[in-house]
Amino acid sequence: MPRHAFFCIDGHTCGNPVRLVAGGAPWLEGTTMLERRAHFLRDHDWIRTGLMFEPRGHDMMSGAILYPPTRPDCEIGVLFIESSGCLPMCGHGTIGTITLGVEHGLIAPRIPGRLSIDTPAGKVDIAYRQEGAHVEEVRLTNVPAFLHAEGLTATVEGLGEIVVDVAYGGNFYAIVEPQRNFRDMADFTAAQLIALSPRLRAALNANYDFVHPEQPQIRGLSHILWTGAPTRPDADARNAVFYGDKAIDRSPCGTGTSARMAQLVARGRLKVGDEFRHESIIGSIFTGRVESATTVAGRPAIIPSITGWARMTGLNTIFIDDRDPFAHGFVV
Ligand code: PYC
């Protein structure tokens, strides 16, 4: 059959899309989700590009595929698929996946409202609040987050010299705080941030190494987190997270908020037990919390949690037809 069908549940988490693939995904080999991710990227990446890019998706498209877990302490395995690749971990993707998966009976926790998921980045604990048929809120307790490097510099055409800290929260983030050549994300349009971000990311990746000290398969700076003052009285800070080639996260970014909290703890601006309410570019909020302190390869780290909500937008049977010249998607 030249036509492949994928049964998807579409939704969004605080504004950023989540396409949960509920049927049609391939079997993957591997004893960890990181190994399965490598198999998917090697042999099946056309499914990601076909479902994420135009004409079936768009620049911001993001989703997940459910698998049996590879570890006994998790109920379900999750492979994240995005326009940017297969992220080790995705916060908004997790909140959307749990919401859509539980509401449709694809995820059945042993204890109502609680489960653990097996992600390429590691085990992530979930607590969710369900009212009737609907999941109202999801809290994820993330993999350890840590400040990886401080005060890295890069020269960015259009901005000049920029100094960043790089922190890990499931992906590596360059965090751009107020400085001589950057005041606040509010001074830029989304299009301007999309133009500047790849230059900053390329300059940092060219000059520095970003490798997880315990999981060397997780490497490379993928995301830029531009900071700003909140516009909502109930938020502590605002951010615009750039990912992929043209995407600005519409949600407050779960792994980005985790990385930001790790950086703020390392800098003495947050402590264990503190909450951090992060506002997105469109005004939606994730509530972060510094749950506890830990270490990663001997360096200080935190266990962050992120709370947010998601809503379903529709059921979507998507065809990828081998005869279609745009079967595997395109980027303009
Ligand atoms: O919520 O972790 C996140 C995320 C990463 C990229 C887009 N969203």
- Does residue 127 sit in the same domain as residue 200? no
- Does residue 13 sit in the same domain as residue 107? yes
Token output for 74: 């998790």
Q: Give me the CATH number covering residue 315.
A: 3.10.310.10
Token output for 188: 């830029």
Give the pLDDT of residue 149: 98
Q: Mean pLDDT throughout 307-318?
A: 98
Number of other CB atoms surrounding residue 271 within 10 Å: 11
Token output for 155: 């020269």
HEC string of 19-44 equals EEEEECCCCCCCCCHHHHHHHHHHHC
- Does residue 37 sit in the same domain as residue 112? yes
Pocket test for ligand 1, best of 92, 171, 260 (most atoms within 8 A of CB): 92
Q: Mean pLDDT throughout 14-21?
A: 98
What tens digit of pLDDT does each residue of 216-271 get?
999 999 999 999 999 999 999 999 999 999 999 999 999 999 999 999 999 999 99
Q: Mean pLDDT throughout 263-283?
A: 98
Pocket test for ligand 1, best of 61, 117, 248, 251 (most atoms within 8 A of CB): 251
| 322 C-alpha to ligand 1 centroid (Å) | 30
What tens digit of pLDDT does each residue of 127-147 get?
999 999 999 999 999 999 999
**Active site (annotated) includes residue 253:** yes
- Does residue 156 sit in the same domain as residue 289? yes
- Does residue 260 sit in the same domain as residue 137? no
C-beta 10 within 6 A of ligand 1: no
Asked if 167 and 263 count as a contact pair (C-beta separation under 8 A), the reply is yes
Give the pLDDT of residue 78: 98
Q: Mean pLDDT throughout 147-159?
A: 97
Looking at the CA of residue 93, tell me the nearest atom of ligand 1.
1
Q: Is residue 185 part of a domain?
A: yes
- Does residue 134 sit in the same domain as residue 168? no
Give the pLDDT of residue 2: 84
- Does residue 179 sit in the same domain as residue 239? yes
Radius of gyration (C-alpha) of the chain in whole angstroms:
19
Residue whose CA is closest, atom 5 of ligand 1? 90
Q: Is residue 196 part of a domain?
A: yes
Give the pLDDT of residue 220: 97
Judged against a pLDDT cut of 80, whether residue 1 lies above it is answered with no
Reported in sequence order, the residue ranges of 170-298 that DSSP labels E, i.e. its strands, are 172-176, 221-228, 237-243, 247-248, 275-279, 285-296
Residue whose CA is closest, atom 8 of ligand 1? 253
What tens digit of pLDDT does each residue of 41-100 get?
999 999 999 999 999 999 999 999 999 999 999 999 999 999 999 999 999 999 999 999
- Does residue 291 sit in the same domain as residue 226? yes
C-beta 6 within 6 A of ligand 1: no
C-beta 284 within 6 A of ligand 1: no
Give the pLDDT of residue 156: 97
Pocket test for ligand 1, best of 242, 253, 260, 261 (most atoms within 8 A of CB): 253
Asked if 249 and 281 count as a contact pair (C-beta separation under 8 A), the reply is yes
Q: How far apart are CA 158 and CA 197, in angstroms?
A: 11
What tens digit of pLDDT does each residue of 178-223 get?
999 999 999 999 999 999 999 999 999 999 999 999 999 999 999 9
Q: Is residue 137 part of a domain?
A: yes
- Does residue 170 sit in the same domain as residue 230? yes
Q: Mean pLDDT throughout 3-10?
A: 97
- Does residue 281 sit in the same domain as residue 151? yes
Q: Which of 166, 155, 269, 261 is nearest to 221 (CA)?
A: 166
Question: For the chain, how many structural domains are there in total?
Answer: 2
- Which run of H or E residues covers position 257? helix 254-266
Task: Provide the residue range defining the domain that includes 55.
Answer: 3-141+311-321
**Active site (annotated) includes residue 90:** yes
Q: Is residue 58 part of a domain?
A: yes
Q: Is residue 302 part of a domain?
A: no
Token output for 322: 């081998």
Q: Is residue 112 part of a domain?
A: yes
Q: Is residue 328 part of a domain?
A: no
Is residue 116 very low, low, confident or very high in pLDDT (cuts 50, 70, 90)? very high
- Does residue 180 sit in the same domain as residue 122? no
- Does residue 13 sit in the same domain as residue 99? yes
Q: Is residue 238 part of a domain?
A: yes
